[in-house]
Chain A
Amino acid sequence: MSRIGVFVCHCGINIAATVDVERVARELGQDANVVFATDYKYMCSDPGQQLIKDAIAEHDLDGVVVAACSPSMHERTFRQAAGDAGVNPYRCEMANIREQCSWVHQREPEQATEKASEIVRTLVAKVQQDEELAPSYFPLTRRALVIGGGISGLEAALGIARSGYPVVLVERQDHLGGKMARLSGTYLNFEAAPGLLQRRVEQVLSHPHIEVMLQAQVTGLDGYVGNFQAWVADVSAREAGEPPAEPRRIDVGAIVVATGWDPYPLNRLPEYGGGKILDVVDGLTFEQMLQPGAEIRRPSDGRVPQEVVFVQCAGSRDPERGVSYCSKVCCMYVAKQAMLFKQRVPEGQAYVFYIDIRSAGKGYDEFVQQAMEAYDVLYLRGKVSKIFARGDRVVVWGADTLVGRPVEVEADLVVLATPMLPGSGALTLAQTLHISADGYGFYNEAHPKLRPVESLTAGVYLAGAGQGPKDIPEAVSQAGGAVAKVLQLFAQETMVQDPTVAYVVEDICSFCGVCVPACPYEARELDPLRRVATVNAALCQTCGACVVACPNKASRIHNWEPGQVLAMADLLVK
């Protein structure tokens, strides 16, 4: 016989307004294995937790069931309380009678109460067979790998290194700086990007904790959070046509992926003469003409252009021919480029075709207004339909939808504000790192609101435009967030591994191997010497796929044993 305590929570009125919590406690109190049952307004509050601790001491309980919200809310809270009072934390379970009962059955209080009692009974049956478990601990490598040497990667590397941890920064190109090195004056104050960047690059290169690997690529990754083994290959040999050197193994505990973006190929915009007309360029090309020391000249004949047309959303927000998303930075950089052009060519005229202006950000809209009012940039609200050459000029057909008329501009130079694409190679890298990417190839964050700098693989964090189009301040902020996540990880003494993971009953494992591909986390391997399947507990996420796949029932999860699941099911289908 067990000595189990049942604690039914009202959750204010969240549960109690629907479920008759007193009745649930009363009914469960009659169970032969339950020696104490009660209800309370907020079990998760300090007095609620104290109530549990006192009951454990008073009734000498050996198991606890808290009937309340989802275990993802408070399992940790109650296990901690049970452990403090001397009950093994893994013999404390939660019965979810809020999300799975009171919230969804508000119109059926009677049946909801019956269902709540049933749910609690199943957990009472489970706790009886719960083993006393203890978490395991393993060491942690306090070194980080940063992939990508653009502004996000530089920021991430510096942030981690300045906190005292070694960093390996891997960059595919032969120099640091990424796309920012190709930019001119930045919005909002026209401060030159190369200057801003150069300070960061020097800080990175001179930092004793940062090792920079140029012309290098991550080609493999083993291990798990806290204990990754990354394989980094030198790509300079391959580019020179020589046989590649052996990849170097680097042990790290955390990874920041900051691979950035690539420009949209101009030849995907034939309707705008992209790739055909020399004087139709993209924003990044025009940036280079605006860099300090460079000159604004037409690629075709080197003349200084007098009339420049900027086309916003060229290939963006176009589900049929381009990409559906908005790249977010173009409204701002087009305004900036138009102003820089007017500063250099004061007698020139700049036109901007736009669908709408997206200038959300501190000081951003004022900046665009400055382009319109102080610099006389002519903003035309309408999409451009076609661009073609007429003699040595470039004809732009568009519309001014504010006056309802088609517009033709004969320009000297056309700048297409094309979408930001994920970096080439992002998908390959995502596969290597076991992280996911969306349909465009941007890395997926673990949660769009609450976990925006984490990937779904523990220990792999995201920064910069590889996760989605963003401008410099946003990339820097995200890098800072990723740094904070890495430091949180590194602040732990050791890595804690929850014990409720899969294991193999080796006596009945037939070495068939079906569990290996069944595991989505690559946590299973075959041991050819002992001829059994093994589990890497650090990678296991307790999903249960291997348990279902195993024909011999050799694959199991601690405290989710077949006997427990059957005992729970028996109560429901009696």
Chain B
Amino acid sequence: MGIPYYPGCTLSTKAGGYDRSGRAVAAALGMDLVELPNWQCCGATFPLATDNSLALIAPTRVLYEAEQAGEQVATLCAICYHVLKRTQTTLAKDTEMLERINWFTEQDYEGRVEVVHFLQLLRDQLGWEALAERVVRPLTGLRAAPYYGCLLLRPYNEIGLDDPEAPLILHDLLRALGAEPVDFPYNIECCGSYLTVREPEISEGLSREIVASSREHGAQVLVTACPLCQFNLEYPQRATGFGRTGNETPILYFTQLMAVALGLPEEDWGMEDHYVDPRPLFETA
């Protein structure tokens, strides 16, 4: 049975490897992600204005499309997840706002659809043990540091995926894949997010500390669920040029590690567009 899936803009462009690896591992696990037939941008930020009704229209259109497809909609992108999930919880509480948006869009979103992150499906529907049983190429010896960032977890009372101060969901996933999750103190520090556009020196500074801390704790790779975190952590490393210094840390999507561990062919890994090429780590001897 397929799960309605909202890829979002970034996964359709810059983060194509996340989308490709995600769909491939979902299919391999019998949890096919079925793209919504008609979708648009979610807005990419959750509006925090006093009157945010206008900015909630875009995500509500997505939720409406999802509601036509089923009871759940799955995402991979942490930002889309954040925006859609918060829109869902906001409209569940604020029926007046829901009516106002429906009046404007001339759609009839009922507020039934549940926004889920693919990680949540792996944890709650499949289960880590079942996932571990499907692993054909355990990532034994790989010291992978889960990096959660902000938007996947916060604010807890609206998102509720995992404890925002002590998250474990990526740790558990990595363990199921046979890798060694590396705990490091910066795993929930902000990467700078959209500051990378207007004040890149701030996000580059933050990212450097995050990557450095993960290396101090012995991590070989960083693992994320967010395309913006991935970019912010990886892009500043481009200047050194991959392979020149040996001091780069590949930044991977969790789905890419899953694709390797599930024994999927290399074209499903989606690793060819990284500034820091992670593939040498997985070359078979």
Chain A residues within 8 Å of B, Cβ to Cβ: 270-271, 320-321, 386, 388-390, 395
Contacts and interface: CB of A to CB of B under 8 A. Distances in A.
B156 interface: yes
Given A270-B165, A270-B166, A320 B157 contact: yes
B185 interface: yes
A270 B166 CA distance: 6
Contacts of B166: 270-271
Given A388-B185, A395-B185, A321 B157 contact: no
Task: Give 9 closest A-B pairs by Cβ, nearest first.
Answer: A270-B166, A388-B185, A271-B165, A270-B165, A386-B185, A270-B163, A321-B165, A395-B185, A271-B166
Interface in B155-184: 156-157, 163, 165-166
A321 B156 CA distance: 9
Contacts of A395: 185
Contacts of B157: 320
Q: State the main secondary structure of chain B at its contact with A.
A: loop
Nearest to B155: A320
Contacts of B165: 270-271, 321
Given A271-B165, A320-B157, 11 more contacts: A270-B163, A270-B165, A270-B166, A271-B166, A320-B156, A321-B165, A386-B185, A388-B185, A389-B185, A390-B185, A395-B185
13 contacts: A270-B163, A270-B165, A270-B166, A271-B165, A271-B166, A320-B156, A320-B157, A321-B165, A386-B185, A388-B185, A389-B185, A390-B185, A395-B185
Nearest to A267: B166
Nearest to B216: A390
A320 B163 CA distance: 12
Contacts of B156: 320
B162 to A, nearest CB: 11
A236 B17 CA distance: 63
A547 B9 CA distance: 67
Contacts of A390: 185
A390 B166 CA distance: 17
A321 B153 CA distance: 14
B145 to A, nearest CB: 14
A364 to B, nearest CB: 32
A389 B183 CA distance: 11
Nearest to B185: A388
A88 B166 CA distance: 71
Contacts of A389: 185
Nearest to A395: B185
A426 to B, nearest CB: 26
Interface in B126-173: 156-157, 163, 165-166
Contacts of B185: 386, 388-390, 395
A273 to B, nearest CB: 9
Nearest to B163: A270
Most buried by A among B156, B163, B165: B165
Nearest to B187: A388
B249 to A, nearest CB: 19
B226 to A, nearest CB: 20
A31 B153 CA distance: 75
A270 to B, nearest CB: 3
A321 B157 CA distance: 10
Nearest to A386: B185
Contacts of B163: 270
A386 B185 CA distance: 9
Nearest to A276: B166
A320 B158 CA distance: 12
Contacts of A321: 165
B38 to A, nearest CB: 38
A466 B249 CA distance: 53
Nearest to B157: A320
A403 to B, nearest CB: 20
